[in-house]
Structure 1
Amino acid sequence: RTLATGHKTMTPPYLAAAQGGRQHLVAAASQCLLFKEVLEVLQLSMWTLTLQEEGLEDVRDFKGPGGRGRLEEVLEESGLDTDHIALIVSAVCAAPAVDGPAAAPPPSLGASPDTPGAVVDAEEGSPDPILQELPGLRAPGLAGPARAALIADPNYWRDLCPQLHFQDPEVARRAQSSVLCFGDEQIQQCRDRMLHDGYFDIIAGAELDWAVDVQAIAQAIQTLSAHGWPPAFLLMYDEPWVMAHQVQDLVLRCTGNSLVMDFSMFFVGSGRTARGTPDHAGGPSSKGWPPHRDRGTDASTTAFNPDGTPQYVTTWIPLTDASSVNSCLYCVPKAHDPGYTGGDKGRNPLQAIFSRSENFQHIRALPCPAGSLLQFSHRLLHWGGAMDPQVRAWKGEPPRVALSFASAHKSFEEPYLPAELLPLPPPSARAALIGAQAIAYCQNEDPGPWRMALYWDCASVQTFTPRFQAIVRGNYEA
């Protein structure tokens, strides 16, 4: 049926079994241009006749201006429940494209590709929000380096979030002179807690004298999301780099590690997917990442110094208050996790830890106010909670916005970018790191084929460490 209606590519069956697979199938069916196909994928064939009686047969009738509103009205009158209405409307009016493969990668990440960038495959009538922000990306035959240059355009980023800074010399000077200083006693306490629990926290206060406006950064991430950009594009601004630089003395004295530039940004409650499209209720945007170790292979159990401190740590900083309502972090402390140092040996760590029901009582919630600091080992099992928007509204709490960055010993993991680019890398290097990390973490947040190709173009103008390049290339080719 798909081929008969002229659609070239149906979603591979394995995607239907993956997280979000149902949406992939609905998106593919919607491009067959018949509501009947959409409804059959949803197993709602009984509604086909009803919708045909309402004049709903060709989805193209609802792809133009005002189409979403008209479609919602008709579906509401038909008696469909709100969840299915939202799913059908998303598929028909704003579905991510599934038509056409991503562009083939260039020979190496370190070299600029000399082939044209990927053809835009966003669905007609609902282009990727990035195209609306940077129309120049629409130019036919635009080569990869030119696409990367458009992404790194300083004027665009300065205009988008004027409360933040972009390549500001004064900010660079401030970063060099604003390293957070802690006394020997507090450093020892942090080390002791890391050794005992696998993490430590420092609650916002006078000790954390950030040289940036934490609230302004949180607002900027929300602005980025409203314009269709993933939170990771906060790295285009100086502020997250300054915060990472401020913390490095603390990291070095506690564990001997240095910044590897493995950044992540989080906006739980954004209502948007990694493709920039509206997310469904209870979707990925309403919860943190599921339980995981930042370096989960058993080989990483040896990545500890002789004194027991980890050779890889993550620093996590909430930019809004993080609570049990809006998705604070949770963890299983080291003492209650047999796989922390012993390895999981092919087992699911959750099954090993919670083999006895009373072990659930060892789960530790880590709520903290904006501007606090959590630092944890690569072996700490941790996750972000699921946000309940209704409860959050009742309590008047903000969405959970946060950033994190990793530090490691060079023998375990080298910095992704040359250290001489710090503390404030040039725009092209920032865009390259954003693109490379979006590909590296695509299993957690699928950006779709068009954005994957765009991110590859950004990443291709920068040379990374061989290990990181291999991860990026492997994910892209997969």
Structure 2
Amino acid sequence: MQQLTSENREEWEKPEYWNKICEHLSVEDDSQEAKYVSDDAFWSHSQNYKTDLLSKGYALVDQSLPNAIVVALKDGVEKLVEASYPASFIFLFDETWHLARYSRRLLEKSTSNPFHYDLLAWYIDEGGFSPHRDRQPEDVASSFHPDGEAKFATHWIALTPATTSNSCLYMIPKDHDPGYTKGDEDEKDPLSLALPNKEAFQRIRAMPRDSGQSILFTHRIIHWGSIKDPEATPRAAISFVCSDPSFEKPYVDPAYFTDARLPPFSIRLLLVCAQLIIYHQRFQLSKSMLKACFELCKSMEDKLEKTYWHKVAFEYVEAMKEDAQTNELDESEEEEMMELMLKAEQSGYGEYSDDYDEGSNEIENGADAEDDDFSDEEEGALLFRTADGCDDNDTEGSVASEKHRKRQRTK
């Protein structure tokens, strides 16, 4: 299968390109109303989920989502991965949005927050991911409603069995996490504070799930995934999010996804490309695919919420800077980076110049020595902070500062 590049954009911008990869899934006309199957039994425990989210920071959803959709999406993820595409391209298909209807209804019944567009899908065939929180706001208290309910929550759905052998989620409950509500202390490792002694490790909760079962958890819960056993089968999962707009606005117009309509294919593709850029380190995209994704996002910039667009542009520059450590940028790429940096600084989002200059000097000198002076405690703390202070979601990957991200690559 020809890979996604700028040169073949006319092909992959069309639904037919993706239907050839996942022939069992559909991408209907934008205006077609979507089928929705109501199942009152599935929502019957939503009040219990709300209670668990308040007390624990997470809630186990044991009722399974429709098996036919789950199996179809699992097969779709496997076909995408086989074609060398990230699993998140599953969001191009109607069936994913049928599942999103169930997720949205569950999130709205279990929280006070509307549906959001921070969407991700995962296929874990090797490593797990580091302990992290999904959001690190400067004012943690403001990320909760007056009654203590979180303003941001994730619905994580297992498309295959998620076991202790193939990287199920692990969490530390709210009542054993000092930084959950009040925030994390600078230069202190939140994980060490939550697990101060050997006995405290008994507080860790493993979250195995059967296919179709799921977990709700807030933006403040510390969670991670173990490294998959080499003999275990890979696991696939998908996640949807809700967020109060006062905390984080939806990435695209909410009107695209209603009870009567699925998002247009162009918006689905835009969201996937933007998310892949935001999470570029986790997905390890080729430079050609990264550039193709960004060019599409740039051409549809007006469709993205303003802060989110700046975030996408920021992460694209970060990805290009990382690539420049091993591959020389051509003149047009350098000009594009400088233009994006300038626009970001003019809009008050991100400060690149000094960091980029320092990075360039490091590349020329062939050294990265300045990143070798972190203590173990400082490195642990950096996992829970972002480079620019913005709220990065990393549902299955560590959130780190730029210095820490560069150091991780040398290990």
The normalised TM-score by structure 1 is 0.62
Deviation at 1:449, TM superposition (A): 2.3
Measure, in 2, the Cα distance between the counterparts of 1:183 and 1:322. 20
- What is residue 474 of structure 1 aligned with on the other side? 314
Which residue is 2:270 aligned to? 432
After superposition, residues 154-173 of structure 1 pair within 5 angstroms as 154-167=15-28, 172-173=33-34
Q: Residue in 2 aligned with 1:342?
A: 182
Cα shift at 1:194: 0.7
Aligned to 1:293: 133
The structure showing larger relative contact order (alpha-carbon pairs under 8 Å, at least 6 residues apart) is 2
Is residue 228 of structure 1 aligned with residue 61 of structure 2? no
Residue equivalent to 2:234: 399
Aligned twin of 1:321: 161
What is the CA-CA distance between 1:179 and the residue it aligns to?
Answer: 4.6
- Identify the residue that residue 373 of structure 1 maps to in structure 2: 214
Aligned pairs for 1:182-331 (under 5 A) are: 186-205=45-64, 208-209=65-66, 212-269=68-125, 286-331=126-171
Give, in whole Å, the separation in 2 of the partners of 1:187 and 1:379.
20
* CA displacement 1:41-89 (0-9 Å, x = unmatched): xxxxxxxxxxxxxxxxxxxxxxxxxxxxxxxxxxxxxxxxxxxxxxxxx
Instruction: Decide which moves more: 426-435 or 311-320.
Output: 426-435
* Structure 2 SS opposite 1:331: strand
| 1:430 CA drift (Å) | 1.3
State the 1:301 CA deviation: 3.9
Structure 2's unaligned 5+ residue stretches are 319-411
CA distance in 2, matches of 1:138, 1:315: 33
Q: Tell me, what secondary structure is at the counterpart of 1:260?
A: coil
Unaligned runs of 5+ in 1: 1-129, 140-146, 270-285, 393-397
Contact 2:53-2:217 at 8 Å conserved across structures: yes
C-alpha distance in 2 between matches for 1:445 and 1:337: 29
Q: Deviations over 1:263-321 (max 9, x none)?
A: 1111011xxxxxxxxxxxxxxxx123211111023423421112211110000000001
Look up the SS of the partner of 2:202 in the other structure: helix
Alpha-carbon distance change, 171 to 215 in structure 1, aligned in 2, over 3 angstroms? farther
Q: Deviations over 1:192-231 (max 9, x none)?
A: 11111101011144xx446x52112111111101111111
Q: CA RMSD in A?
A: 2.2
Conservation of the 8 A alpha-carbon contact between 2:118 and 2:240: yes
Matched, 1:359 2:200: yes
Residue 154 to residue 197, structure 1, CA distance change in 2 (3 Å):
same
Shift of 1:469: 0.8
Do the aligned residues in 2 keep the contact of 1:314 with 1:404 (CA within 8 Å)?
yes
Contact 2:19/2:27, CA 8 A, preserved across alignment = yes
- The answer (yes or no) to whether the contact 2:161–2:209 under 8 Å persists in 1 is yes
Determine which of 230, 248, 256 is the counterpart of 1:421. Answer: 256
Counterpart-to-counterpart distance in 2, 1:325 and 1:366: 12
Shift of 1:401: 0.4
For 2:214 and 2:74, locate their aligned partners in 1 and report how far apart those are by CA, in whole Å. 15
Superposition TM-score, scaled by structure 2 size: 0.71
Helix, strand or coil at the partner of 2:49: helix
Contact 2:103–2:240 (Cα < 8 Å) also in 1: no
Matched, 1:181 2:21: no
Kept in 1, the 8 Å contact 2:140–2:182? The answer is: no
Distance in 1, matches of 2:33 and 2:212, equals 20
Residues 448/158 of structure 1: CA separation in 2 closer, same or farther (3 Å cut) = closer
How far is the alpha carbon of 1:183 from its aligned partner?
8.3
Partner of 1:389: 230
Distance 1:161 1:340, change over 3 A: same
Deviations 1:229-279 (A, max 9, x none): 11111111112222112222221222111121111111011xxxxxxxxxx
- Greater shift in the superposed pair: 447-456 or 329-338: 447-456
Q: Aligned residues: percent identity?
A: 31
- Residue 58 of structure 1 corresponds to none
**1:446, CA displacement in angstroms?**
2.9
